[in-house]
Amino acid sequence: MPIISRNLASALRFLKFASQTVLQVKYSHINRTQDIYEAFLMQYNDQVLVHD
């Protein structure tokens, strides 16, 4: 019985670690997309201002 609970505890710890890693990857991807979008907007605004 203790062996099963120990395996369960380590499995839960691994699942928690895996889910945190996936969340970090997702959020860093979202942040990178936002950075690219903001850079595009700044470039677009510069071009519009130059054309005016």
d(CA 45, CA 39): 10
Decide: helix, strand or coil at residue 1.
coil
pTM over 0.95: no
Say what the pLDDT of residue 16 is.
93
Say what the pLDDT of residue 51 is.
56
Locus of tokens 């710890």: 13
Q: What ranges do the domains of the chain cover?
A: 24-52
Decide: helix, strand or coil at residue 34.
helix
> HSE (CB half, 13 Å, CA atoms) of 15?
6
d(CA 38, CA 28): 15
Say what the pLDDT of residue 13 is.
93
Q: What is the pLDDT of residues 1-52, one digit of tens each?
A: 577 788 888 999 999 999 999 888 888 888 888 888 898 888 887 776 665 5
Say what the pLDDT of residue 32 is.
87
